[in-house]
Structure 1
Amino acid sequence: MSVPPGGSTPADNPPPDVRGFWPDDRIAGAVTDVPLLSRTAHDRGHLSRSLPDPAQGRPVRVLLVDDQRAVPVRDGDGRPELVYDERPTMPEGAIYLGEADGAVYAALRGPRPDVTEGGQIGRWAGLREVGGELGDLDAGLLAQAVGIVEWHERNRFSPMTGSRTTVERSGWVQRDPENGREVFPRTDPAVIMLVHDGGDRCVLGRQAVWPAGRFSILAGFVEPGESAEAAVAREVAEEVGIRVTDVRYVSSQPWPFPQSLMLGYVARAVDTELRIDHDEIEEARWFTRDELRSGTGPQALPPTVSIARHIIDRWVAGEFS
């Protein structure tokens, strides 16, 4: 049960108009801050979700999320900024995200407007494209907005009775109208791991659907009744046929495509002969630190928005051995 290397899930197939987007980046080693690693500069306000009016007279800044999970963006001073539609009250169907700087933030699913009001929206962009460049407040709100919108899109009916659910608590609960049971947002745990040989090499793999020459670290879903560390060992064995030891946790990253939490690890290979399961991945190879540092290895690495790149950079910089 595999996740394509790099932190994407099987449902994470970008639409045709963005499938070709991939940063031209093949040199690793400058340690990157993962922009979606706990970058939350707003109060999620979990108690306010149960109030009839979570805004309570404060201005509401609404982030419109279209059916491709793109949002309005303008290019500010040195970095992009999300464009919010400020309203006096929570609009119907909006999902409460929390509050910051005296304002309430909400996400609203809907089509892009035909006309950009006031010319404030420079472009529409997705989390992969701009997540690494946003400030902390925008990055945290965008990851949260995309994740909760995905949950609503995929859970319109009760898993217990099949009845269409009703939305409550400002978008954070769906209720089965037949039995009254509440359905809450869920997050799927997945592991993503850099496997090294204890020396100067690590394993990178690639999916057939990726652009030619693009490699990343291995990843996979945690199965029921399984620990994250056991999932690391199992997924590596399944994908490239080697055993690992010294499995160590690095950090985590929300990856709302559609609803994963990526748990990052490094692990040391016990044996080094790769036996690739081509049903899992197309190709896997050992790469040296120098190849990744100099750009003579893969033609493309994961973007800096991803935990995959964060772990690769830290290993190349010598943090893990």
Structure 2
Amino acid sequence: MISDGEALIAKLGDKLSGLRGRMTSNAGMDKVTWFRVGGPAEVLFQPADEEDLAAFLRAVPEEIPVMVVGIGSNLLVRDGGIPGFVVRLSAKGFGEIERVSETQLRAGTATPDKRLAAAALEAGIAGFHFYHGIPGGIGGALRMNAGANGVETRERVVEVRALDRKGKLHILSNADMGYAYRHSSASKDLIFTSALFEGMPGEQEEIKAAMDAVQHHRETVQPIREKTGGSTFKNPEGSSAWKEIDKAGCRGRMIGGAQMSPMHCNFMINTGQASGHDLETLGETVRARVLENSGIRLHWEIKRLGLFRQGQEVQEFLGQII
């Protein structure tokens, strides 16, 4: 289990003086994640802006863990909580969108994907409609190359601003991001702060029609009104995760308060009283069943953070030898 956040803040003492952001000890991550589960962050820090974040990173010794989270949509926090500092970028400091040219927009990484799509519509810039259907933030989209409806983030990114663990600024090109399917090879220590995106000139009526089609698809096939983290697993090569889950008999399967959605069985939902342990156990049960049924090893798309409660560890594939 994590220790008292007040002790961590006191340990660093004057090193944290001068920071303008908000610092909260023992912050409940269940209030942050869309699953509404998870133990506390030892200390949650919400920096005021990029300069404040850089000062924070320079102040915190590298042996103390620092983890960044976004709006919490694609995130499962374990019940034992997260040691060290959790950085959450605020909409006020990292949520601005600026039109840079006729086809380019710069967005802070706390910007919801849907808001970037809306800004592109207003500017008459095509190519961003797919973000209207992704329930996440720009930071997460950059990190995991989020995509939908046949378009991926890597097709829109020009460059990314990021801070390293020592607070140094880096400007990464599209090639520097090392994009692949639902993956970026950019260093895990980098915290993205904003990105420059490029689309193409478009008619607002056509852009709006594309966004409406994305929204209709989501409402028709996804459990968007549930406590969910979106797609649970990445699609395996040559197939779809939901098809493999369905063939393995896991549609609607429940463990505790966690369920694979009967509507879209690659969506895991908290039916009301699930714990992080319930959700991760269900996910690993599904992975084990799919492996047994088809020989396919599903890979998590949802990001899992933090510590297990003692005695509630969850092994990958439920400990099968693979």
Q: RCO greater where, 1 or 2, for CA within 8 Å and sep 6 or more?
A: 1
Give the TM-score normalised by structure 2.
0.26
TM-score with structure 1 setting the length: 0.27
Higher percent of residues as helix: 2
